[in-house]
Each structure stands twice: as C-alpha cells, then as structure tokens.
Amino acid sequence: MNRSAWRLATAVLLATLFAARVRADDNVVNIKAGELAALFRDNSQSPRVLSGVQSLFNVKHTPRFDAYDPDGKGSSAGLNYEHIISGHKNPDNKFTPRSGRYTLHRLTDRSIELRRRQEDSPWNVSSTMRYTVTAPHYIDFEFRCTPHDATKFGRRGYAIFFWANYMNEVADVALHFRGLDRPNGAEKWISAPAPKTHADYIGGGTYRSRPAKALKYDDDHNFKLNVWSYEYPRFTKPFYVGRAAHDMSLMLMFDRAHTADDEIRFSLFKFKVKGDRRRPAWDFQYVIHNVEAGKEYGYKGRLVWKKFVSYDDCVREYEQWSSKLSKTKTGSD
C-alpha cells in the first residue's frame, strides 16, 4: 500500500471510529459534579436498558453503591419516564415512553435533555425532560409537555405522567413525608409503606396531597394500579424521603403539590421486596386535569442523594430549594 492509500485508509478508519463515538455519545452521557457521578441514557435500548438516570453514585460516601438496582434487567434506572395513563381502557396506558424516539441532547457539562416529538408518542404529546447535576449532591430536573390532541384522554379528561425510581437495597421500604393521617389531623412525619387496603391493589399504591381528590376511572380500565390512590395518609409538603442502605437517603422534592391545572402524587411499589431483598420502586406522578390541546404544562423537581442526617435536615433541604425557586420567579435572586 502506498503512502497516499495508507493515509486515505487511516482517514476513513478515524472517521468511522469518530462517527461511532458520536453515536455512542448521543445515547449515553456521564456527568460528575460535587459528590455525584450519574450516567444518563436515551431509550434506544429500551426496554432492555431504560432511559433517564441509568446509575447514580455518591463518590464521597458510597462510591461502590449504586442508588438504583444494578441487577434488574429492564428495571435499573431513576427519574425514568415510564407511563402516560388516561382514565379509560387503552393499550397505550402502559410503557409508551419506552418505545418511539426519545433522544438525548447534551446541553452543558452538567446538563442533558431528553426530547420526544408528538409524532413519536401514541398520545400525541411532545415533551422534554431536562436533568442538571448540581453540587454537592443534587439532580435538578424539569419536565415540559404539550398535548396536541385532548380527545386522546377521553371523557375523563386527565393525563397521568409517571416516573420510576428502581432502587437498590434500602433500609426502610416506606416513603416518609410530612402529612396527615386522617381528616383534620395534625401535620406530622408519615411513614407510608403502601399496604394492601384497596380493591385494585397490586404490589403498591399512590399517595396524594391534602387538597387532591381521587381520580375516577372506568371499570374496565387496564392499568388501575397506577390510577387509584389511598384516601389517607396525604402529604402536606411536596417532598418525600426514602432511607436507603449504607445510611444513604433519596429525597425527591417538587415545585408544587396541587393546583387547579395539575398536581404531584407519590407512589411506592414493592414487586422486588421479597425475603431479604428490599428493592422497592420509589416513584411519582404528574397529573394534568382537563387536558387542553396546545397548552404547555410542566413542573420542576430536585433529587437529593446523600448521607441521611435527620428528618429536620430533609425539611431544611426542601425549604432552601423552595426559597431559591421563589426568588428566581420574582427576579430577586
């Protein structure tokens, strides 16, 4: 091979390797900031490998302990956009964000965004989910969506958007939040273990905020487990805490609990809580009421993955973040 041919072959090989790397980078992004190291994925390998936060490590305190189930084939992820659910029977109530294009875009050295076009959603909903790893131990996230065909959600008119956190081993399966255990009760810390107390119970259930009403759904609904909710307890502050193994804690907080247009709900499922194995799904829902075509909806949230200090410390985490959001909205930050 002469020198010109060798150079051409080398150039082609390098271009091929670069193109492969770009494609890989389009599917996976690693981000490190402060104490956290997180790996983000699109859904191009779903359901074998899920989208969202594929793995999450606190490199300061537990560098070898992934927050999310490292062994669960098809169920190892956090902040994983998993369902869009209506109030009527529909085959698309289950797992539609796992299929169809859901592309990953790197925005900064600490931020990525997953984007879904309306034509790639059987619900005709376009959406973005932005993740930003923030020192020392936070992942800030923001969801925005626009329904383009309100008739898809039928006469009930609501849409449930569901995210999963498939946890690694935990010290306590229950969710913990500030709330009420009965009507007119005093606000206190609630331990919510998702007991079997409802006719449509399958392995877990959902908790709603103090002002929220139960969602009505058709008798022949094909995905009831994610639509019904406990009457009590109810949460009074839009955050919950989970106690993981190795004295770690996962905290999820939101910029709203309940408005006229939308609300947040907390879910706990225990399909992988058996014997000595305690790997629950600490999930949440975003519910839009009276869906309107062409209207943009969304919320902001923050995930905390750090050593557990105390429940008072959890309240401080929420109050500090909430205060910062309020200042940003008023322009007085």
Domain-located, residue 106: yes
Nearest to 220 by CA among 84, 90, 82, 85: 90
Can you give the residue range of the structural domain that contains 251? 25-330
**C-beta separation of 205 from 215 below 8 A:** no
Residue 11 located in a structural domain? no
117 and 131 Cβ atoms separated by less than 8 Å: no
* Contact of 155 with 88, CB cutoff 8 Å: yes
Q: Which of 249-258, 296-305, 323-332 has the lowest mean pLDDT?
A: 323-332
Q: How many domains, in total, are found in the chain? A: 1
Which residues, listed in sequence order, are joined to residue 132 by a DSSP beta bridge? 111, 140
3-state class (DSSP) for residue 114:
strand
In a domain, 6, yes or no: no
Neighbours of 211 (CB within 10 A): 11
CATH value at residue 62: 2.70.98
> Is residue 20 domain-resident?
no
Q: What is the pTM of this model?
A: 0.90
Does some domain include residue 290?
Answer: yes
pLDDT at 330: 63
Q: Indicate whether 19 belongs to any domain.
A: no
Q: C-alpha angle with apex 139: 306 to 117, nearest 5 degrees?
A: 150
Indicate the helix (H) or strand (E) that contains 319.
helix 311-330
326 confidence band (pLDDT: 50, 70, 90):
confident
Give the per-residue pLDDT at 324: 94
Give, rounded to a whole angstrom, the gap between the first and last alpha carbons of the chain.
65
Span 121-155, pLDDT tens digits: 999 999 999 999 999 999 999 999 999 999 999 99
**Which has the minimum average pLDDT: 72-86, 139-153, 250-264, 268-282?**
72-86
User: pLDDT of 7-23, one tens digit each?
Assistant: 444 433 333 333 333 34
The pLDDT, as a whole number, for residue 3 is 55
Q: What is the mean pLDDT of residues 249-274?
A: 97
Looking at every residue in the chain, the average pLDDT score rounds to 92
The pLDDT of residue 305 is above 80: yes
Residues with Cβ within 8 Å of residue 213, at least 6 apart in sequence:
none
pLDDT tens by residue, 167-221: 999 999 999 999 999 999 999 999 999 999 999 999 999 999 999 999 999 999 9
- pLDDT tops 80 at residue 315: yes
**pLDDT of 261:** 97
Q: Provide the 3-class DSSP secondary structure of residue 198.
A: coil
Q: What is the pLDDT of residue 333?
A: 43
The answer to whether 179 and 187 have CB atoms below 8 angstroms apart is: yes
